[in-house]
Structure 1
Amino acid sequence: MTKSSPPTKPLVSPKVEPLVSLGFKDVAPAEKTLAVRDIFQRVAPRYDLMNDLMSGGMHRLWKDDFVRALKPQPQEKILDLAGGTGDIAFRIARRGTDVTVADINPGMLEVGRERAAKRGLKLDFVEANAEAMPFADQSFDAVTIAFGIRNVTDIPKALKDVHRTLKWGGRFFCLEFSSSEWPGFARLYDLYSMKVVPRIGAAVADDADAYQYLVESIRRFPDMPGFATMIEQAGFRQVRYRPILGGAVAIHSGWKY
């Protein structure tokens, strides 16, 4: 009698995570998280100055418009996500709200704390990943994010966590770059952002690569209807978007109910 061989186990292929965009490159999710953290750590000291130079100061008008659309009310609890240096949070805090600033980057948060102290504003600054925030369910009346969602590694996961942290009846507002629907302007804007912005980054922040990534990340971000669909898939209702400069910038909003 011959001795039979033991049954062989079926081969199981190791699970491979889908790649995500890091500018024009596709990388593993963990690589993007670390790379984005490093980019913003490097540019934190000059981040607000660069915003002024890149937009000709127009980002201030967009942010004012954004906060007016949000309509923050006294005594509301509002989370400003990816808001490290405080630009949005300061505008909201002046309305008498209780504001928490969350950001994955400690360098950005340190800049925000220093700026808040100079203004005499008392805000909570929390180091947190947007995909898994350390806040209880239904903690906030509103959650905002300005020019930060495209830097998140897993955007759908982050949107679901935003939904989790909102109270019933709460609202989500997002200000982000998009794609302009004005053909002539779109072409000029594209040339400016790809050719000029990295050079400004090199001259002012001594970091052309960081700003090359930032302009590339805009090109890889979904258009306005596409991002609205992502917000709806996270569970939000009455999702809307309003273009600025034909959609070069857009305000998206959605409600939890």
Structure 2
Amino acid sequence: MNTGDRLNVRANLSDPDRKRRLNERIFSIIAPRYALINRGLSFGRDQAWKRHLIAALPDMDAPCCVDLACGTGDMTFLLAKRYPGGKILGIDLTEAMLVRAREANRFAHVEFRQGDMAATGLPDASMDIVTGGYALRNAAELVSALREIRRILKPGGVAAFLDFSKPPAGLRQRLQLGLLRFWGSLWGVMLHGEADVYAYIAESLRHFPDRVELERMLGREGLPTSSLRLFIAGIIECRMTRKASQ
């Protein structure tokens, strides 16, 4: 990456429009190596966490499911295996990711569509299940995304999220953000010659609510947390939420 093309992550995260454009740019850059970097950053545990999240979803015969920020389709395909009688939709902002997802798709009941998680275009109360792997942290406007998720969920529907988890303010938070920035920067330099490509993870998490405030925010938006599991000493979280039945 040329120095004239630097990402300037910190300068672009505070404004929703600039963050949306930054996301599209970063994920277009990393799309060819997205699976590799997920395995590397997670020490090979990424797939196990995704399988845990999918296994925790309710048993249903033919649910309508949408996987937000679906990337190259890892979680979407796990949904397809879990619900062979369902209808599975993957939505992502970045066409470069979707190209690879469509190429990898071997399921007749899976569709991929470009779109914003805060404006999916789906009908009200049309989804039984919403999933998001590394999704909410990347939303340009988090509250808008949560309201969209609640809007498209059927009453009693489940939304499940896997992402990096931010502890409350204090030494643990500072250490975790520092570790993530170092680890992401190292991979960014090795693969792209640009630290900010993956240092973005720590910077986006820095701008994101900690896990206690996120739980409060979800509750305020009608998506109360029903379960939360932390992995690798609290760096990763798997969070299940449910929209009220009435």
TM-score, normalised with respect to structure 1: 0.82
What is the aligned counterpart of 2:164 among 177, 188, 193? 177
What is the aligned counterpart of 1:193 among 161, 177, 180? 180
Instruction: Extract unaligned runs of 5+ from structure 1.
Output: 1-21
Report the count of equivalent residues.
Answer: 232
2:3 aligns to what? none
Given that residues 91 and 115 in structure 2 are in contact (C-alpha distance below 8 angstroms), is that contact kept between their aligned partners in structure 1? yes
Write the letter of the residue equivalent to 2:242.
Answer: W
In structure 1, what is the Cα distance between the partners aligned to 2:107 and 2:195?
33
Cα displacement (A) at 1:132: 1.2
Given that residues 228 and 240 in structure 1 are in contact (C-alpha distance below 8 angstroms), is that contact kept between their aligned partners in structure 2? no
Write the letter of the residue equivalent to 2:45.
Answer: M
2:4 aligns to what? none
Question: Which deviates further from its counterpart, 237-246 or 89-98?
Answer: 237-246
Question: Which deviates further from its counterpart, 239-248 or 127-136?
Answer: 239-248
4+ aligned runs moved over 4 Å, structure 1 = 183-191
* 1:108 and 2:97 matched: yes
In structure 2, what is the Cα distance between the partners aligned to 1:56 and 1:246?
14
In structure 2, what is the Cα distance between the partners aligned to 1:236 and 1:185?
27
Secondary structure of the equivalent of 2:27? helix
Given that residues 46 and 205 in structure 1 are in contact (C-alpha distance below 8 angstroms), is that contact kept between their aligned partners in structure 2? no
2:87 aligns to what? 98
Given that residues 193 and 215 in structure 1 are in contact (C-alpha distance below 8 angstroms), is that contact kept between their aligned partners in structure 2? yes
Write the letter of the residue equivalent to 2:123.
Answer: A
* 1:134 and 2:121 matched: yes
Given that residues 9 and 203 in structure 2 are in contact (C-alpha distance below 8 angstroms), is that contact kept between their aligned partners in structure 1? yes
1:34 aligns to what? 21
What is the aligned counterpart of 2:199 among 212, 233, 236? 212
Secondary structure of the equivalent of 2:151? helix
2:50 aligns to what? 63
Question: Which deviates further from its counterpart, 200-209 or 44-53?
Answer: 200-209
Write the letter of the residue equivalent to 1:81.
Answer: L
Q: Report Cα offsets for 1:63-95 as digits up to 9, x if no partner.
A: 111111123533111100001211111111112
Structure 1 residues 247 and 234: alpha-carbon distance in aligned structure 2, compared to 1, 3 A threshold: same
Write the letter of the residue equivalent to 1:99.
Answer: I
User: What is the percentage of aligned positions where both structures have the same residue?
Assistant: 29
Cα displacement (A) at 1:24: 3.8
Secondary structure of the equivalent of 2:56? helix
Given that residues 218 and 225 in structure 2 are in contact (C-alpha distance below 8 angstroms), is that contact kept between their aligned partners in structure 1? no
1:165 aligns to what? 152
Secondary structure of the equivalent of 1:193? helix
Given that residues 177 and 206 in structure 2 are in contact (C-alpha distance below 8 angstroms), is that contact kept between their aligned partners in structure 1? no
Secondary structure of the equivalent of 1:143? strand
1:121 aligns to what? 107
Given that residues 63 and 87 in structure 2 are in contact (C-alpha distance below 8 angstroms), is that contact kept between their aligned partners in structure 1? yes
Question: Which deviates further from its counterpart, 86-95 or 171-180?
Answer: 171-180
Write the letter of the residue equivalent to 1:82.
Answer: A
Cα displacement (A) at 1:235: 1.4
1:45 aligns to what? 32
Given that residues 81 and 130 in structure 1 are in contact (C-alpha distance below 8 angstroms), is that contact kept between their aligned partners in structure 2? yes
Given that residues 64 and 87 in structure 2 are in contact (C-alpha distance below 8 angstroms), is that contact kept between their aligned partners in structure 1? yes
Question: Which deviates further from its counterpart, 229-238 or 121-130?
Answer: 229-238
Secondary structure of the equivalent of 1:130? coil
Q: Report Cα offsets for 1:165-221 as digits up to 9, x if no partner.
A: 01111111111111358x998777545422232221222244432112122212332
Query: What do you get for the CA RMSD once the two structures are aligned?
Result: 2.3
TM-score, normalised with respect to structure 2: 0.85
